[in-house]
Structure 1
Amino acid sequence: MKLIWDYMKLYWKRITSNMSIKLIGTMCELSLPYILEHIIDDIVPLGSVKLVVYWGLFMTFMAFVTRFLNVTANRLAVRVAADGIKKLRYDLFTKTSNLSGTRFDSFGLASLTSRMTSDSYNVQNFMARVQTMAVRAPIMLIGGIILTLTMDAQLALVLIIMLPILMGVVLFISNRGIPLFDRVQSRVDDVVRIMRENISGIRVVKALSREDHEMDRYKVTNDALAREDIHANRIMAIPGPFMEICLNVGLSIVVLLGAVRVDNGAIEPGVILAFLTYFNVILQAVMGLNRIFVMISKATASADRIALVLSDAPDQLVLDLARGDVPEDVCIRFDHVSFNYFTPAGSEDESARSAEAKGIRSMDKVSDQPIDRNELEKEEGRILEDISFDIKRGQSLGIIGQTGSGKTTIINLLMRFYDATEGCIYVDGRDVRSYEKDGLRNKFGVVFQNDIIFADSIYGNIDFERGLSYKAIRKSADDSGASEFIDRLEGGYEFKAAIHGANLSGGQKQRIMISRALAGDPKILILDDSSSALDYKTDAALRKAIREDYGDATTIMIAQRVSSVMSCNNILVLDDGRMVAYGTHDELLESCELYRKIFEHQMKK
């Protein structure tokens, strides 16, 4: 809840003004039954039609003022909530964008998505409603009690006796609501995860005719969400009927006692009418307080989930790390580096998030059964073990190995998406942990294995808001071979790519992504399986262009094809996270059986 107050404090002047308007409107609303009682008991007996009309018009005026002030306050509250949640979402998006790879995996993409959407909606709804209901409900409750006490203390005691019981029930149920709604939001994470998987993989689902299977899987998760939501709302709904019963019983007692006191001449009939109105006002106020506590339960659960992301510690920057014994001509050094993706042992929730991050599609989480940590470790056991090598400035390194051997992990560690479990990684003689994030990553031009084309023009996809010149973009497109098809597109570089490049072929997308990496004239160029969709001719032309036009750049090329890496200065052969061999193409043919088998298998096809 502290998170919500911190963001609301930014708009305290507007909130104060808004709550003042709501306070005046509520006071005007409270005056209406009192004015009615005055007209019935004091004005009508005088027999003056003029006074009745005058007081009737005054009551009508107060009703209009009440409505105007309440509507104004509600609109202002919505605006403040919209501004507050806009800033909160921006901060959450910024924080999410800067999470380390380990922390991103720990939260999980589905969970981060639901925190950005449904959780932020719960917080926004609370921000909007609390500014008005937190004023109206208490004032109507307290004001109604005070006014009824001034009219007839004995009748007011009936209500006063019931209030502690009602408030006790509300507080007791509300305390149970926070963990219930936290479980609901966890189920929302599950639903978002399955929806995301199916939307992104819809072609695979259709190609394998697995629509029914995926519908069943979604149904299980959706049903689990529905059960949690129904259970939470059923518990939170208990105070409502209980309050209505108590207050209606109290209202009946007031009517009976009031009738006796009117018959005895102790009070006037207008007091009974005003009392009934105030009783209804107090009933609505208590129900309003109940709704506030329900919103507090939802908002607190959601705010805690958001705060967990916002308060996550950033990657530690260690400025005083020793330079290490790295020669001046060495651009990159891996010094006995080991790494494990597995999240350290923790809570079951943390384990579940980690499993989700790794794509483990287990029904255990949906059915509330604990996840088998041994299976989890087995799934997450992709490691690097004791990797050491140097790349000199301007040289190239090819990395080859079977799927899952740790090739991409080396890049993740080099760019500090993750920190090594053991050992050190140096770039330009400095430990990567001593670099500011931008200072390190601005050195790189990179094409990832599962890179993305954005819904933007071809020019925009290559430039990526870096302010590059048209000459640099055109040159990079020529070198990657992309200009061959770009010039044939309608609009050329202004051609609008669809989301994920759906209106482009695989080879066209890869060439655009390579152009993006080359356009910034990087100091270190990384191509992670970026030529898999290129024909041999285009692949060979790309490697030639890199040698001739980007000879000063240190190049790391990850590939499945031996032909893509055989011209590199050195080649690193990985197998199951271990460094099998390191050397030139000719050296590896002589000394590395695994490399020789890969070469013979591919080149004899």
Structure 2
Amino acid sequence: MKYVIRYVKPHIPTMIFGFTIKFTGTILDLMIPYILSYIIDEVTPRNDIGLVIRWGLMMAVCAALVLVCNVWANRVASAVSRDSIEALRHDLFYKISYLSSSQVDAFTIPSLVTRMTTDTYNLHRTLNMIQRMGVRAPILMLGGVVVTMFIDPWLSAILCFLIPFMILAVARISRKSIPLFGKAQIAADAMIRVVRENATGIRVIKALSRTEYEKDRYETVNSRLNAAEAKASITMAASGPLINLMLNTGLAAVIVVGAWRVSTGAMKPGAIVAFLTYFTIILNSVMAISRLITMSSKAIASAGRVEEVMMTPQDMEIRPWTGRPETAPGASPDAPDMASGKRPPHMEFDHVSFSYNKRAYNLSDLSFSLEHGQSLGIIGPTGAGKSTLAQLLLRLYDIDSGQIRIDGRDISTFPLKELRQKFGVVFQNDVLFKDSLLNNIDMGRKLDMDAIDRAVEVAQAASFIAGSGGYEKPIAVKGVNLSGGQKQRVLIARALAGRPEFLILDDSSSALDYKTDAAFRRSLSQSFSGTTTIIIAQRISSIMHCDKILVLEDGIPQGLGTHEELLKTCDAYREISTIQMGGEDL
């Protein structure tokens, strides 16, 4: 909660101003029953209608001022809570954007979505309510008690006796409810994950007639969420009836004792009317404080979840670079030597190993290098680690041992933005956004149209773009209004438009027919001959032209060489070739 409070600090002067207005309105509100008591006991017996009207007008003025003060203070409270949580939400989004892939995996996307939406909304509501009722309700309660003590100390003693018991009850219930609200938010994460998966895979669900299965799956997580929220809410809601019981018992005692004191002449009828009014005010203020504590319990749980993200340390450390190649622990002793005058490889993996779960390696002892303008094809069965290799090169994850170098420089010494600007990437399951086709290619980079036109031509997308309305063609969410081949060509154009130093194509031509694929590869080699290219594919025809081909299986390299060399030396590659192309003759 301390971290969240820092976003409120810039607005403290405004909050003090709002509190002052709210305090003024609350004091005026407390005066109204007292004026009513004075009219009944002192003014009415004089039989002076003019005096009654004057005091009545004073009550009306007080009521009008209370209205103005409350509206004004509530508007100030809304502005403060809006601006504070807007700044928090902005920084939270910024922080999430720069979390490493391993950190995102740890939090999970549904949980991060919940923290960005539900948790920040809980904080917004609570901050707003604290400013609106956090001043008014305690002042009404304490002020009401003080005024009633002046009216009649004996009746006020009933209130003073009940208040400690009410505070103790609310404190104990709140202590139990805060952890329950945290569990409810975790259950909300699970429900959002299922809803997100269903929305993403709706076509598959319908095609396989799995609607009932997914409904049951959703019902399970929804029931868990309902149970968690019900348990938290029921626990916290117990404070309301308990406080009502105490106050109503006190109210009955006040009526009995007050009637007896009026009958004995110890107090006047107007005093008991005012006392009952103050008692009602105190009752409402205590209920408001109870609701505020309920909301605060949710907010404390939400603040903890938000702070967990905001306080997550940066795990992609940028190591210092001395301006010359350095050998990292575990790297090969044959690191490039600039003193020899030999130009280092454009990109090099040096005995690289990596594991997602830190128990079993997903890539093990991987070593290869590429010179400027060379191409590398990567092939292997599903789960072999092909896409993982690309993610390590982009430093979406940090390797466990070894070293990855670009131009002899360890990638861990590059600022992340500088490193990733070197790459044009088409991921295996890449995304198109709901925007125009041009904006999906440009992606906010403000590229010149010549570069975009050139990329579109090389990606073999020019003809279908021209025939479908040009660059202003609207793209639906995730590109559902495009075919698989059209989508892949747009994604390839996006990767090429920035004139990247490295191009990574992760199974990006699987939806292209052989003719289009061949035309794309031919155009790529002609127009981007200076770009170092990594092609991850399932088809040998997509990579057989590459300068080097890497064969992976279970994260272990099985062979590295040209197409012809691997046919002779690598059994795994020869088997794939035989299955797909008829063997060595092709």
| Same topology, TM > 0.5 | yes
Q: Distance in 2 between matches of 1:384 and 1:73?
A: 61
Tell me if structure 2 keeps the 8 A contact 1:589–1:595: yes
Q: How does 1:394-413 map to 2 (within 5 A)?
A: 394-413=373-392
Q: Distance in 2 between matches of 1:16 and 1:508?
A: 58
**Deviation of residue 527 (structure 1)?**
0.7
Counterpart position of 1:173? 173
Q: Distance in 2 between matches of 1:469 and 1:195?
A: 40
Q: Distance in 1 between matches of 2:61 and 2:503?
A: 75
- State the TM-score, normalizing by the size of structure 1: 0.92
Tell me if structure 1 keeps the 8 A contact 2:379–2:386: yes
Gaps of 5+ in 2: 328-334, 337-341
1:442 aligns with 2:421: yes
Q: Distance in 2 between matches of 1:10 and 1:331?
A: 49
Match for 2:434 among 427, 452, 455?
Answer: 455
Counterpart position of 1:73? 73
Question: 1:533 and 1:382, CA in 2 relative to 1: closer, same or farther beyond 3 A?
Answer: farther
1:201 corresponds to which letter in structure 2? Answer: G
**Deviation of residue 323 (structure 1)?**
2.3
Query: Which moves more between the two structures, 118-127 or 422-431?
Result: 422-431
Counterpart position of 2:326? 323
Q: Distance in 2 between matches of 1:147 and 1:316?
A: 62
Q: Distance in 1 between matches of 2:4 and 2:259?
A: 49
Q: Distance in 2 between matches of 1:108 and 1:96?
A: 11
Q: Distance in 2 between matches of 1:425 and 1:329?
A: 12
Q: Distance in 2 between matches of 1:135 and 1:551?
A: 70
SS at match of 1:77: helix
Query: Which moves more between the two structures, 289-298 or 8-17?
Result: 8-17
Q: Distance in 1 between matches of 2:411 and 2:36?
A: 77
Q: Distance in 2 between matches of 1:10 and 1:181?
A: 29
Match for 2:353 among 322, 329, 338?
Answer: 338
Counterpart position of 1:372? none
Counterpart position of 1:368? none
1:507 aligns with 2:469: no
Note the alpha carbon deviations across 1:255-288, whole angstroms, 9 max, x for none: 1111122222221111101100111111111111
Tell me if structure 2 keeps the 8 A contact 1:32–1:63: yes
Counterpart position of 1:286? 286
User: Over aligned residues, Cα RMSD in angstroms?
Assistant: 1.3
Query: Which moves more between the two structures, 62-71 or 475-484?
Result: 62-71
**Deviation of residue 382 (structure 1)?**
6.8
Counterpart position of 1:357? none
1:390 aligns with 2:393: no
SS at match of 2:534: strand
Note the alpha carbon deviations across 1:418-454, whole angstroms, 9 max, x for none: 0011211112222111111101101101111111111
Counterpart position of 1:354? none
SS at match of 1:53: helix
Q: How does 1:195-344 map to 2 (within 5 A)?
A: 195-314=195-314, 315-320=316-321, 323-324=326-327, 325-326=335-336, 328-342=343-357
SS at match of 2:69: helix
**Deviation of residue 574 (structure 1)?**
0.1
Q: Distance in 2 between matches of 1:127 and 1:471?
A: 51
Counterpart position of 1:476? 455
**Deviation of residue 60 (structure 1)?**
1.1
- State the TM-score, normalizing by the size of structure 2: 0.95
Counterpart position of 2:331? none
Tell me if structure 2 keeps the 8 A contact 1:8–1:127: no
**Deviation of residue 547 (structure 1)?**
1.3
Q: Distance in 1 between matches of 2:223 and 2:162?
A: 39
Note the alpha carbon deviations across 1:356-379, whole angstroms, 9 max, x for none: xxxxxxxxxxxxxxxxxxxxx7xx
Counterpart position of 2:528? 550
Q: Distance in 2 between matches of 1:246 and 1:452?
A: 59
Query: Which moves more between the two structures, 36-45 or 74-83?
Result: 74-83
Tell me if structure 2 keeps the 8 A contact 1:331–1:392: yes
Q: Distance in 1 between matches of 2:46 and 2:408?
A: 99
Note the alpha carbon deviations across 1:313-352, whole angstroms, 9 max, x for none: 122222158623236330111111111111x6xxxxxxxx
1:323 corresponds to which letter in structure 2? Answer: E
Q: Count matched residues.
A: 568
**Deviation of residue 137 (structure 1)?**
1.1
Q: Distance in 2 between matches of 1:176 and 1:285?
A: 23
